[in-house]
Amino acid sequence: MEVNHFIFALISLSCLFSVSANVPPPVSNASSSASSELYDMIEVMSESPSPFAFDGTTLESIDDLLSILPSGVDPALQQICGNTDHPVECIIATMPFLDGNAPIEPPSVLKAGIKAMDNQTKDALAEVTRLSMDPTTPKTIVPILQTCIDVYNNILNSDQKSLEAISNHNLVQLSTELGANVENVLGCDNAFKQAKLESPMKDMDAMLANIISNTLTIGVDMVHF
């Protein structure tokens, strides 16, 4: 089974489960549709009643899902991502950003994870900026959305510093920047919670938080310069 067919099939599966579970769709636009589909897919795999069937195979756990990943997924990537808290997200998020000329090792997977984080953050930034400029958005919400914009810009800044730390083999700086993003990603949702409102960015933030968690695990526990 090709990787693209596998991902497409999982996305289709997610739509079926989303309907049956009455899961509300995430806020999205053209620029963030891929990220929203990715989140929906992960949400189904994480929250669907267990066991469930996929492609003729009964899956009772994430480990079962990992066991049927297509042969195009390098075993080294499966092993590294299998040691994170969100292994499926890790594999799907990092695969498009892996350097085909570099061996699949913790540093290269970490770089791919940071690039995936950067990409997800830019999608979130585009969406929250669109909402802040939408004339139908209540004026009382705009300052909260600005907080979210600041949060995403902080994550992007930390991403660049993390990549620099990898290049410089600076584990202290790397751990600091990755750890900072764990706090940063909570900022947008916390701002809405303080206002007793539900964040329109909660689904994108949840996916981003999982990517950040994975990069922290890989960076702190697996990368040794």
DSSP 30-45: GGGHHHHHHHHHHHHH
Domain assignment present for 26:
no
**Domains contained in the chain, number:** 1
Domain assignment present for 2:
no
Higher pLDDT, 47 or 197: 197
Domain CATH for 203: 1.20.140.40
Domain assignment present for 127:
yes
Structural domain range at position 108: 71-222
**Cis, bond preceding 25 (omega within 30 deg of 0):** no
Domain assignment present for 87:
yes
Domain assignment present for 131:
yes
pLDDT in tens, 90-133: 998 999 999 888 899 999 999 999 999 999 999 999 999 999 99
Domain assignment present for 38:
no
Assigned token pair, 172: 């202290």
Instruction: Identify which of 71, 72, 74, 44 has the alpha carbon closest to the alpha carbon of residue 59.
Output: 44
